[in-house]
Structure 1
Amino acid sequence: MAITKGTRLLCAQHSLEGLSVGDAFGERFFLHPDVAESLIVARAIPASPWYYTDDTQMALSIVTILQEYGEINQDGLAESFAKQ
């Protein structure tokens, strides 16, 4: 089966969804180590809101550039990073 640009872009979008949720979830554990450990032991879900970090923002830029150009356009990506 041939993999098209559309299929690759869809995979990138799905990856972005997973990355953003994992990023926001993990960010909630930047607490005092004792507090973080107690949450982990209790298997507690961190309280909302869950904010994503600059890692997700950069990934959003990458996917946007892929949608716009069909490939990584270095100038477009640099401009997108700078706007964030």
Structure 2
Amino acid sequence: VDVWTLGILMYEFLVGTPPFEAEGTTETYQRITSVDLQFPSYVTALARDLLVKILKKDPRDRLALDKIVQHPWITRHCTSSRSDPTIEEAP
């Protein structure tokens, strides 16, 4: 599982823009390599905590998937649909 990409997508879903977006390519790469995360005030502390733990520069330092699904932000905001694994065909 690509945990980094999961963090990027989570940030984009919450904020509406990529986390390291900058004016130019060089600035964007600098923000990525320094993991320069900036959060709008409406992003909750729990969401920030999860994103910071996922978007670590060193992949070995990133939160593992089994820990991500146990994180309080996930357990409070996500539900499982495993009780009905069937997929209906579109009309």
* TM-score normalised per structure 1: 0.29
* TM-score normalised per structure 2: 0.28
Q: Which structure has the highest helix share of the two?
A: 1
